[in-house]
């Protein structure tokens, strides 16, 4: 049974998600100290789902003392074969007791480690098979954007990633739009560019899985989001949160982004 699927499908309002991807940073000791400081900086905000995504070595130590009123855990990656002779790999099956979420198809996995759409599709299916909610990352490179291929790339990566999934599984998943050209490059996507991509992604989900699924699936933006520009993205129509990179390693910036998300969500709920 896919973890949390009934809860997500029956919910009318999509909860904002702020997910911090630590990438290849912090050892166990450093992460423990950082989480202690972070927990002190962030109040309980039940209308915002905050996900911490550290490297795999940190997941188990952090999970022991994690304040689950404030945080959930995610994995940066997972292998699609549950068990076998795959030295060095950590399977989705091994992660299922530790995390709620797992990144799938992150741009660095695609473009640094050469993972194709076929691998992404297998990882999506493996995550769901093991009760983990996948965060499917899609986005174009600068060359593809300049060639006006953005929509085609998003369509290809989305349809491949969601292959063989049911409407309920897609509704419970998360999609993150992360233009590769705006990640750690000093370049920034403009809100209107992000809005166009979000609208296109949701329309594609609707054409593939129906209007109800499209209205339930959460779509995040990831691309050099920090405490100074987060509001401009989180206020976009249909934007359900952000995938944060570098700013998630700064307790003050990350806490500020969560507060921005909280205020945006309160406005949406009319409070």
Catalytic residue numbers, as ranges: 106, 178
Instruction: State the first-to-last Cα distance of the chain, in angstroms, to the nearest integer.
Output: 35
Distance CA 217, CA 8 (A): 9
Q: Helix H segments across the chain?
A: 5-10, 28-41, 56-65, 92-95, 107-111, 117-129, 142-146, 150-161, 167-172, 191-209, 211-216, 230-234, 251-268
Distance CA 5, CA 8 (A): 5
- Residue 28, judged by CB atoms within 10 A of its CB (0-12, 13-18, 19+), counts as middle
Whether 220 contacts 243, CB under 8 Å: yes
Give the residue among 123, 139, 47, 128 at the shortest CA–CA distance from 90.
123
CA 211 to each of CA 57, 174, 206: distance values in angstroms, whole numbers, following the listed order: 40, 16, 5
Q: How many CB atoms lie within 10 A of CB 13?
A: 9
């Amino acid at each position: 049974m896919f973890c949390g699927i009934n809860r997500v499908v029956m919910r009318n309002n999509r909860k904002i998600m702020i997910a911090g991807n630590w990438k290849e940073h912090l050892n166990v000791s450093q992460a423990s100290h950082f989480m202690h400081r972070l927990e002190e900086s962030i109040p309980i905000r039940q209308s915002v789902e905050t996900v911490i995504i550290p490297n795999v070595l940190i997941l188990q130590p952090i999970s022991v003392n994690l304040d689950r009123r404030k945080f959930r855990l995610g994995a940066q990656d997972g292998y699609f074969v549950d068990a076998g002779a795959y030295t060095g790999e950590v399977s989705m099956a091994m992660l299922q007791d530790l995390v709620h979420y797992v990144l799938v198809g992150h741009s660095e996995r695609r473009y640094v480690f050469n993972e194709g759409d076929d691998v992404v599709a297998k990882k999506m299916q493996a995550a769901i098979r093991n009760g983990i909610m996948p965060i499917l990352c899609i986005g174009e490179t600068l060359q593809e954007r300049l060639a006006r291929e953005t929509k085609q790339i998003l369509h290809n990566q989305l349809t491949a990633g969601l292959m063989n999934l049911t409407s309920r599984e897609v509704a419970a998943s998360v999609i993150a739009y992360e233009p590769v050209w705006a990640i750690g490059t000093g370049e920034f996507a403009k809100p209107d560019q992000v809005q166009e991509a979000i609208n296109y992604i949701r329309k594609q989900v609707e054409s593939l899985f129906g209007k109800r699924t499209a209205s339930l699936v959460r779509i995040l933006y990831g691309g050099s989001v920090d405490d100074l520009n987060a509001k401009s993205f989180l206020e976009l129509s249909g934007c359900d949160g952000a995938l944060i990179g570098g700013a998630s390693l700064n307790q003050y910036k990350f806490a500020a982004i969560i507060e921005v998300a909280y205020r945006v969500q309160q406005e949406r709920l009319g409070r």
